[in-house]
């Protein structure tokens, strides 16, 4: 554990242990006739740990000394939540299970303890158990929304898309019109699976539903093209995919190879030329770049293809495959001095305005200034 993150944990823990100590004192005064000796002893033991800056041990002692009753439920809940946040899910689980077993809880307290336990299970990766508890909470007024949200997280993780659709739609009934993108993606997941299984009729229905949720769902258009392609309807596939070049150029880049294949299969040479020259950005993946470059080479010849790459890079910025290609050509002496100078100038010009300096290795988040804690994924020390 790094110095900074231990500081982060120690102070709240000491504060919490201290407040448990205070509560325990009050508790002890109230019941001194019954439990005086035991609690007194435990209390001072806990206090001792606290003074020695061992909040973990202090908390353990206090927890043993504290009976669960209506006055201490909140403390137990706070403590359980703290353990979970600290990553000590076992301890959190024990506290919450212990709470639920008490008959003295009010209904509201019991539901809260069940919710906390569901989060413990979720964090521990016991998704079936978490699911059962969320299902129980889903029919209560207070926890309905939060339980449906928990269920949708689980189904998403488990790739149970039909269930995910159902619970996400149930969330929407209360908050009208929300989550349409999310549900559209779930339908796309189902469509992808159906296409893989060659169940084209189901796939078409899923895609219709996806577009019904989100009319602008580019992923659904991409998959409609795929569905046509798989069924050898190459012209239809081309129509779908070419519409992406305008609405969603990044996605269009994913199907460059198949689009070029479609032009070949339909014998549309003029269409291919237009596509290679105008419709498509330089592909970002090595394979697609190679297919695009070879097709350009066949249609326009090598020097024209290289000039095209340079022109496109000036508009779009550098990408790995194109840079490797130019680097190779430069080392082979196949790029003339003028073009080299032009390229260098252009890239330096772009780099001077660049405002990404650090990237999180956990999630790929780009920032200009250095952070210790990634604001996107919550990882420590993740910027390089
Ligand atoms: Zn991150």
> Residues 228, 185: one domain?
yes
End residue of a domain, out of 146, 174, 202: 174
pTM above 0.85, yes or no: no
Q: Which of 11-20, 191-200, 210-219, 238-247 has the lowest mean pLDDT?
A: 11-20
User: How many Å lie between the centroid of ligand 1 and the Cα of residue 12?
Assistant: 24
Asked if residue 91 is part of any domain, the answer here is yes
pLDDT over 60 at 6, yes or no: no
User: How many Å lie between the centroid of ligand 1 and the Cα of residue 41?
Assistant: 46
Collect all residues with Cβ–Cβ distance below 8 Å to 384 and sequence separation of at least 6.
358, 359, 361
User: How many Å lie between the centroid of ligand 1 and the Cα of residue 2?
Assistant: 17
pLDDT over 60 at 207, yes or no: yes
User: How many Å lie between the centroid of ligand 1 and the Cα of residue 154?
Assistant: 22
Q: Which residue has the higher pLDDT, 295 or 48?
A: 295
User: How many Å lie between the centroid of ligand 1 and the Cα of residue 383?
Assistant: 8
Q: In this structure, what token pair is assigned to residue 129?
A: 């158990």
> Residues 215, 101: one domain?
no
pLDDT over 50 at 2, yes or no: no
Counting the structural domains of the chain, the total is: 4
pLDDT at 186: 95
User: How many Å lie between the centroid of ligand 1 and the Cα of residue 377?
Assistant: 4
User: How many Å lie between the centroid of ligand 1 and the Cα of residue 226?
Assistant: 33
Asked if residue 96 is part of any domain, the answer here is yes
Range of the domain at 362: 354-384
Asked if residue 208 is part of any domain, the answer here is yes
Collect all residues with Cβ–Cβ distance below 8 Å to 336 and sequence separation of at least 6.
none
Asked if residue 154 is part of any domain, the answer here is yes
User: How many Å lie between the centroid of ligand 1 and the Cα of residue 384?
Assistant: 11
CATH number, residue 203: 1.25.40.10
- Ranked by mean pLDDT, the top range of 13-17, 69-73, 113-117, 298-302 is 113-117
What letter would DSSP give residue 359?
E
Which band of pLDDT confidence, cut at 50, 70 and 90, is reported for residue 156?
Answer: very high
Asked if residue 344 is part of any domain, the answer here is no
User: How many Å lie between the centroid of ligand 1 and the Cα of residue 365?
Assistant: 5
Asked if residue 342 is part of any domain, the answer here is no
> Residues 186, 95: one domain?
no
Half-sphere exposure of 129 (CA within 13 A, CB side): 15
* 105-136 per-position pLDDT tens digit: 888 999 999 999 999 999 999 999 999 999 99
pLDDT over 90 at 64, yes or no: no
Half-sphere exposure of 275 (CA within 13 A, CB side): 30
User: How many Å lie between the centroid of ligand 1 and the Cα of residue 372?
Assistant: 10
> Residues 122, 218: one domain?
no
User: How many Å lie between the centroid of ligand 1 and the Cα of residue 84?
Assistant: 21
Tell whether the torsion through CA atoms of 124, 159, 178 and 379 is positive or negative: positive
* 297-318 per-position pLDDT tens digit: 999 998 888 888 888 887 777 7
> Residues 151, 10: one domain?
yes
pLDDT over 70 at 9, yes or no: no
User: How many Å lie between the centroid of ligand 1 and the Cα of residue 373?
Assistant: 8
Q: Which of 8-17, 86-95, 305-314 has the lowest mean pLDDT?
A: 8-17
- CB distance 86 to 9 below 8 Å: yes
User: How many Å lie between the centroid of ligand 1 and the Cα of residue 364?
Assistant: 6
User: How many Å lie between the centroid of ligand 1 and the Cα of residue 370?
Assistant: 12
Q: Which of 12-16, 115-119, 194-198, 376-380 has the lowest mean pLDDT?
A: 12-16
Mean pLDDT of the region 320-337 = 84
End residue of a domain, out of 174, 202, 236: 174
User: How many Å lie between the centroid of ligand 1 and the Cα of residue 78?
Assistant: 28
End residue of a domain, out of 135, 155, 174: 174
User: How many Å lie between the centroid of ligand 1 and the Cα of residue 381?
Assistant: 9
The structure tokens 């019991």 sit at 110
Give the angle 292-293-299 at the CA atoms, nearest 5°.
90
Asked if residue 29 is part of any domain, the answer here is yes
> Residues 286, 307: one domain?
yes
User: How many Å lie between the centroid of ligand 1 and the Cα of residue 190?
Assistant: 29
Asked if residue 275 is part of any domain, the answer here is no
User: How many Å lie between the centroid of ligand 1 and the Cα of residue 366?
Assistant: 9
User: How many Å lie between the centroid of ligand 1 and the Cα of residue 359?
Assistant: 8
> Residues 237, 358: one domain?
no
The mean predicted confidence, pLDDT, of the chain is 84
Longest dimension (CA), the chain: 98
User: How many Å lie between the centroid of ligand 1 and the Cα of residue 355?
Assistant: 17
> Residues 166, 17: one domain?
yes
> Residues 141, 9: one domain?
yes
> Residues 302, 367: one domain?
no
> Residues 312, 379: one domain?
no
> Residues 183, 228: one domain?
yes
User: How many Å lie between the centroid of ligand 1 and the Cα of residue 371?
Assistant: 10
User: How many Å lie between the centroid of ligand 1 and the Cα of residue 143?
Assistant: 30
């Amino acid at each position: 554990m790094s110095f900074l993150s231990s500081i982060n944990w120690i102070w709240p823990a000491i504060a919490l242990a201290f407040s448990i100590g205070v509560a325990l004192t009050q508790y002890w005064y109230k019941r001194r006739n019954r439990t005086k000796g035991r609690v007194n002893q435990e209390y001072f033991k806990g206090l001792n740990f606290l003074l020695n800056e061992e909040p973990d041990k202090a908390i353990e002692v206090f927890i043993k000394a504290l009976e669960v009753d209506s006055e201490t439920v909140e403390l137990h809940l706070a403590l359980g939540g703290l353990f979970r946040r600290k990553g000590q899910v076992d301890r959190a689980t024990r506290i919450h299970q212990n709470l639920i077993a008490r008959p003295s809880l009010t209904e509201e307290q019991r539901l809260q303890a069940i919710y906390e336990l569901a989060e413990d299970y979720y964090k521990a990766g016991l998704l079936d158990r978490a699911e059962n508890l969320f299902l129980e909470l889903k029919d209560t007024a207070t926890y309905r929304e939060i339980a449906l949200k928990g269920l949708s997280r689980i189904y998403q993780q488990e790739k149970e898309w039909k269930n995910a659709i159902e619970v996400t739609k149930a969330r929407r009934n209360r908050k009208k019109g929300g989550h349409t993108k999310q549900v559209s993606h779930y339908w796309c997941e189902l469509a992808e699976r159906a296409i893989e299984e060659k169940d084209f009729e189901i796939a078409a229905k899923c895609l219709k539903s996806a577009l019904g949720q989100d009319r602008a769902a580019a992923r659904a258009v991409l998959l409609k093209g795929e569905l046509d392609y798989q069924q050898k309807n190459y012209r239809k596939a081309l129509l779908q995919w070419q519409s992406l070049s305008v609405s969603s150029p990044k996605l269009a880049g994913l199907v460059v190879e198949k689009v070029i294949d479609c032009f070949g299969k339909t014998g549309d040479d003029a269409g291919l030329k237009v596509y290679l020259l105008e419709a498509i950005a330089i592909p970002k993946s090595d394979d697609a770049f190679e297919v695009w470059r070879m097709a350009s080479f066949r249609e326009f010849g090598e020097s024209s293809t290289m000039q095209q790459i340079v022109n496109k890079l000036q508009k779009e910025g550098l990408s790995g495959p194109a840079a490797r290609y130019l680097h190779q050509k430069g080392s082979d002496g196949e790029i003339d001095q003028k073009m080299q100078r032009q390229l260098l100038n252009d890239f330096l010009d772009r780099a001077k305005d660049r405002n990404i300096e650090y990237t999180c290795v956990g999630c790929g988040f780009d920032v200009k200034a250095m952070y210790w804690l990634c604001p996107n994924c919550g990882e420590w020390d993740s910027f390089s």
